[in-house]
Structure 1
Amino acid sequence: MVTRTRLDDSPCPVARSVDAIGDWWSLLIVRDAFDGSRRFGEFQRSLGVAKNILTARLRTLVAGGVLESVPASDGSAYREYVLTAKGRALFPVVVALRQWGEEYFFGPDEPHSRLVDREQGCGLRPLEVRAADGRLVGPDDTTVRKVSPG
C-alpha cells in the first residue's frame, strides 16, 4: 500500500487545502452537501461510492471541520452531515470547478446540470479574480511571495 504524503504542515495554502479536501470523493461529497444531501445513504446513492470509502471520507471531512455530524432533523436515530462555516466557505471553489468544467468538458449542445440563482432562476456570472483595487487579474498579473516566520 502506498503511504499518503501529508501536506498539512506545508507553507503553501494550496497544498494545505488539497490535503484537507483534495480527494475527488471529498469534493463530490461537499458538492452533494451544497445540493442538499445530509444522510449517508443520500451521499452513497448520489455518488455510487463504496460504503467504506464514503465512511472514511466523511470522517476526514468531519475531523477537518468541513462537515459536522448532527442528530437527524426528523428525530430518528440517524446522523446527518451538515456543512460548517468552513465547509460553506468552499462554495466559490465548487462553483469555480463547475464553471471550469462547463467551459472545457462539454460540447455546445451537450446537456449538463446548471447552477442557478434560486431567486431569479438564472445562471451565475463567471467567477473573476480581482486585485484589491478591483482590477481583473490573471496568472500573468500575480506572483507568490514567500512569507518568513516572525
Structure 2
Amino acid sequence: MVSRTRFDDSDCPVARSVDAIGDWWSLLIVRDAFDGSRRFGEFQRSLGVAKNILTTRLRTLVAGGVLASVPASDGSAYREYVLTPKGEALFPVIVALRQWGEQHFFAPDEPHSELVDRRGGHRLRVLEVRAEDGRRVGPEDTTVQKASEG
C-alpha cells in the first residue's frame, strides 16, 4: 500500500487543514454531523459509504479532535459522534463549499438542497472575506507571508 503524504508539520495552514480532514468522505461526514447525524448507521445510510471506510474516517476525525465519540443520548449501548468545538469551527468551510457548489455546479433553476436560517427560513448571505478594516478582499488583495519571513 502506498503511504499518504503527511502535512501535519507543514508551515502552511491550508496543508495542515487538508491533512486533518483527509478526504471528501470526512467533509461529508462533518456536513452530515451539522445536519444532525450522530450514529454510525445514520452516516452510512446518508453517505452510502462502505462500513470499513466510514469506520476509518470516523476514527480519524475523533483522533483529530473534530468529532467526539460519546455514549448514546438514549442510554443504549451505542456510541454517537458529536462535533467538538474544533469540528463546529468547520461550519464556515462547509457553508463556503456549499455556496461555491451552488454557484458553479447547478443550472440557475436546477433544484438542490438549501441551507436556511432556522429563525426566518431565509437563505444565508454569500460568505465574504474581509480585511480587518471591513473592506471586502479577493486574491489580488492578499499575499502569503511565509513563516520564515515573519
Q: Same fold (TM over 0.5)?
A: yes
Tell me which interval the TM-score lies in, with the shorter structure as reference length: over 0.9
Alignment RMSD (CA, Å):
1.2
Q: What corresponds to 2:57 in structure 1?
A: 57
Q: What corresponds to 1:88 in structure 2?
A: 88
Q: What corresponds to 1:138 in structure 2?
A: 138
Alignment TM-score, normalising by the size of structure 2: 0.98
The SS at the match of 1:148 is: helix
Alignment TM-score, normalising by the size of structure 1: 0.98
Q: What corresponds to 1:148 in structure 2?
A: 148
Q: 1:148 & 1:74 partners in 2: Cα distance?
A: 51
Residue deviations 1:41-85, cap 9 Å, x none?
000000000000000000000000000000000000000000000
Aligned-residue offset at 1:99 = 0.1
Letter in 2 for 1:79: R
Q: 1:149 & 1:103 partners in 2: Cα distance?
A: 36
Q: Which residues of 2 match residues 17-32 of structure 1 at below 5 A? A: 17-32=17-32
Worse overlay, 139-148 or 84-93:
139-148
The SS at the match of 2:111 is: coil
Any runs of at least 4 consecutive aligned residues in structure 1 with deviations exceeding 4 A, and if so which? none
The unaligned stretches of length 5 or more in structure 2 are none
The number of aligned residues is: 150
Aligned-residue offset at 1:147 = 1.9
Higher relative contact order (CA 8 A, sep 6+): 2
Q: Which residues of 2 match residues 33-44 of structure 1 at below 5 A? A: 33-44=33-44
The unaligned stretches of length 5 or more in structure 1 are none
Residue deviations 1:12-54, cap 9 Å, x none?
0000000001400000000000000000000000000000000
Q: 2:44 & 2:139 partners in 1: Cα distance?
A: 37
Aligned-residue offset at 1:109 = 1.2
